[in-house]
Structures are given as C-alpha cells and as structure tokens.
Amino acid sequence: MTTAEAPSHLRENPFELAKAQLRRVGEVFAIDPNLIGVLSQCKKGVEVSIPVSMDDGSINVFLGYRVTHNIARGPSKGGIRYHPDVTQDEVKALAMWMTWKCALMGLPFGGAKGGVICDPKHLSRGELERLTRRYTSEIINDIGPERDIPAPDVGTDGRVMAWIFDTYSMNKGHSVLGVVTGKPLSVGGSLGRVEATARGAMYTIQAMAQKQDKRVDEYTVVIQGFGNVGAHLARLIHGQGAKVVAVSDSRGGVYNPKGIDVPAALAHKQEAGTLEGLANAEAVTNEELVELPCEILAPCALEQVITERNADRVKASVICEGANGPVTPTADHVLEDRGVLVLPDVLANAGGVVVSYFEWVQGLQEYFWREEEVNAKLHDISVRAFEETWLTRERQATSMRMAAYGLAVQRVAEATTTRGLYP
Ligand code: GLU
C-alpha cells in the first residue's frame, strides 16, 4: 500500500488493489502468468495540464488524465471523472475495471478512464465548459470512435459530453457522433442512457431475487449515493415495490425503517440540492448508513466505502455495487466468510456502458432505437452476464466477484493470445 499516493477518500492505492485482484484471478482460473503480467499494466496514459480562464479573471491550471488499459477486444471505453481527489493510479484502476466490465458483458471494447482533478460543484457553467473543451483538445489525438470513447462518470454528465462531442467535431470539421457516449438526446444520445446504470443494477437484483426464490418487493434496501446511479436506482427499485429505508448523498443520509418516501426524496434533492432536512426521516452519516439493517446494501458513490474497518458490521445479506470498487479485497474476504453475497461492480453497474455501446452503434449507423428496444436489449445482456457469472461461481465454488472477473479476464486473455503479441 502506497498511502502517499492514495487520495483523501481512499485509504489504499486502488491500482495496487486492482492488480492484486488480477493476480488472484490468474491463480484461481489458472491463467498464464505471462498474460497476467501483460494485463497488469495499462497500455497507454496521458497526463495533461489544462489552463482555464476563471470568471474572476485569474487562470487556474488543472491536471487531467486519460488512460487506456487494454484494446485487445476493441476500442477502449470508459468514463471521465471530475473530482478533487482524482489520482493517476485511481484512473488506472478504473480503466482496468472497464476492460473487465466490457469483456464480461460481451461488448467489443477494451477499457479506459479519464479524470480531471477539480471540484465541479465549485465551478461555474462557463468554467466547466472551458475546462472540458481544453481537456478534450489536449487528448484529441487519443480519443475517437475507433480508438477510445469517453462517457460520463462521477462529476460529469450529458452537458459535459455535449461539449466533448462539439470540441472534437469542430476540430474534425463534421459531427462525429461516435466519439463520446452519454450525450443528450438532441445531439445523438440514446434513449434510456441516463438511467441505464441503475436499470442494469435493478435487472441484476431481479435475477438474483429469482435465485433466492424471492420477489423484489420483499427486500429492504439501503442506497449510498444519490447521483445518477443511486437516485435512479432508488426510483426504479421503489417502483418495483422494494422498501428503500435509507438514502444518502456526499453530505449525509436520511433513514426511516418504515421506508423513505422516494418521490419526495427525489423532489427534495432537486429543490434543495441536498437530502438534508427531508421530512419523516432521521439524519444518519454515510458511515452509519452502511451498517443499517437491510437485505440489500447498494453503495453507488465512490470506492472503498466497505473496508476491513466496517465489513464485519454490515447487516445486509446482499451488496449490489452500483459504484466502481466500493468493497476492498480485504472486506471481500470478511463478507465472503460471513456469507454475504456481493454482486460485483463489473456486473451490477455495467448497464451504463452497455447502453453506451448501444449509443455508439446507433451513432455509427445514424439510426436510433425506441426506448423499449434499448431496455429489452439491456435486459438480455444483463441477465445473460448474471447467469454466466452465477454458473461460473457454482462450478468454481468461488465468489460472484471472482467468477465475474475470471470470465472477463479469460475473454481478454483469449483475445490477446488469438491476436498474438505484436511484432
Ligand atoms: N462511467 C461508467 C462506468 O464506470 C460508464 C462508462 C461508459 O459508458 O463508457 O461504467
């Protein structure tokens, strides 16, 4: 563990954790150590400086990254994160996880991730636009529909994607729809993309419920994070009749053992910009929220929220990883020993990149699908990946995480071997 490099919300270096996970997968699935050695490194990474004219007349220089982990199965794919704690090693870990996620879902993509060290909550719209356009122009030769395709992640949204799309297109002299996904509908986005990550998580929960001979409305759910993933998951799962007893955003959470009024929470967040002060609910901290009694705990915010420090106090019997990397490997062991079922990130939050794939295909064909079509195709892919993971878990007598990562790494390893090492 190199704490010196670990950003403030992370106690352990995420890239070291991702590499340790990969080594473990190599052992469990008897994958050639030479290949594991190749897959342990990121293919390419750029670090760029992003000078931005601020509204007060000063110039701030931000630092940005774009990392491609692997392209054996196709162009690299992955979001761009705007957050004050971003580090290069975090971006590398997230890029590696994207490779596994795309392979597990059977998408013709490799993995990538980008990040800019900034606090988008404290930037004006103009500052955010100038930062995004300059960042895009700094990485313009590294991205493209056949090369590397960004998307939203923590701190970025459709607006940011529209600026990336426009900056890239203006430089090419024509609209290039396939350069970025998660775009607004007016500029070639896909129906269903905004809520796709949450919808994929819900399909995964439904598939798991079937295995447990239960219905979704029999579960009590706690959701950490009320951004794109958490808020939509709360809405969708509430719509399925599940009892959502607690939700939180970065400032803290709200809890009612009888059930949160989810539509009221969504409206309150929309109006007040926070969940604080929601009626008929008591305030809890994000740390307390993780330990609340419930059946399903869905961490949908950042990495490393369930660690060796609190894993033994988690009451949930199922953890649905809406975020990337919310459970550390040490916590994984504790949870596994306690019989807690972890639906891993590369499976549970893959709905976003699956519909990103649909958006990319629609953009390349300039032919757009109905929302029901998008959702039905997402359902098929999510359920297939769940069933394959479940079967592998049973065959190997291992965890869902190991099964998912194992399937994914084997697919990437196979593509690498079939192509052969160049030159
Ligand atoms: N940032 C999302 C993820 O972590 C979406 C990536 C994408 O759509 O390319 O999966």
The tens digit of pLDDT for each residue in 395-418 reads 999 999 999 999 999 999 999 999
Ligand 1 atom closest to the Cα of residue 152 is 1
Residue 92 Cα to ligand 1 midpoint, Å, equals 14
CA-94 nearest atom, ligand 1 = 4
Question: Taking all residues of the chain, what is their mean pLDDT, rounded to a whole number?
Answer: 97
Mean pLDDT within 5-10:
62
Picking from 292, 212, 210, the residue whose alpha carbon sits closest to that of residue 256 is 292
In this prediction, residues 100-123 reach a mean pLDDT of: 98
User: Which atom of ligand 1 sits closest to the CA of residue 149?
Assistant: 9
Which position has the token pair 């190199």? 2
**pLDDT score, position 3:** 40
The CATH number given to 14-179 is 3.40.50.10860
- Of the candidates 341, 347, 344, the one whose C-alpha atom is nearest the C-alpha of residue 328 is 344
What is the domain partition of the chain in residue ranges?
A: 14-179, 196-343
User: Do the Cβ atoms of 259 and 222 come closer than 8 Å?
Assistant: no
Grade residue 48 by pLDDT with cuts at 50, 70 and 90. very high
368-398: per-residue pLDDT in tens? 999 999 999 999 999 999 999 999 999 999 9
Distance from C-alpha of 377 to C-alpha of 396, rounded to nearest angstrom: 29
Distance 337 CA to ligand 1 centre (A): 30
Counting ligand 1 atoms within 8 A of each CB, the residue from 153, 357, 359, 382 with the most, and so the one to mutate, is 153
Query: What's the mean pLDDT in 170-181?
Result: 98
Rounded Cα gap, residues 255 and 385, in angstroms: 33
Distance 406 CA to ligand 1 centre (A): 20
Using the predicted structure, report yes or no on whether residue 304 has a pLDDT greater than 50: yes
**Pocket of ligand 1, beta carbon within 6 A:** 77-79, 101, 151, 153, 181, 324, 349, 352-353, 356
| CATH homologous superfamily of 196-343 | NAD(P)-binding Rossmann-like Domain (3.40.50.720)
Dist. CA 258 → ligand 1 center (Å) = 34
Q: Which two tokens stand for residue 83?
A: 């957050």
Give the distance (Å) from ligand 1 centre to CA of residue 152: 6
Give the residue, by CA position, lying nearest to ligand 1 atom 8.
Answer: 353
Coil/strand/helix, residue 3? helix
Work out the percent of the chain whose per-residue pLDDT is above 90: 97
State the catalytic residue, choosing from 77, 113, 183, 243: 113
The answer to whether 157 touches 231, Cβ cutoff 8 Å, is: no
Report the nearest-CA residue for atom 9 of ligand 1: 78
pLDDT for the residue numbered 7 = 52
Can you read off the two tokens belonging to residue 416? 């690498």
Q: Which atom of ligand 1 is nearest to the CA of 81?
A: 1
pLDDT tens, residue by residue, 199-241? 999 999 999 999 999 999 999 999 999 999 999 999 999 999 9
Starting at the edge strand found earlier in the chain, the sheet holding 318-320 runs 282-284, 252-255, 243-249, 220-224, 296-299, 318-320, 341-343
Distance CA 327, CA 341 (A): 12
As a whole number, mean pLDDT of residues 274-280 equals: 96
Q: What are phi and psi of 421, to 5 degrees?
A: -80, 125
Total length of the chain: 423
Query: Nearest to residue 348, comparing CAs of 104, 68, 39?
Result: 104
Q: Which residue has a Cα nearest atom 7 of ligand 1? A: 353
Based on the residue annotation, tell me whether 113 is a catalytic residue of this protein: yes
Task: State mean pLDDT over 42-70.
Answer: 98
275: nearest Cα among 298, 293, 248: 248
**3-state secondary structure (DSSP) of residue 34:** helix
Whether residue 318 is predicted with pLDDT greater than 60 in this model: the reply is yes
Distance CA 297, CA 308 (A): 17
Name the residue among 148, 139, 141 with its Cα closest to residue 111. 148
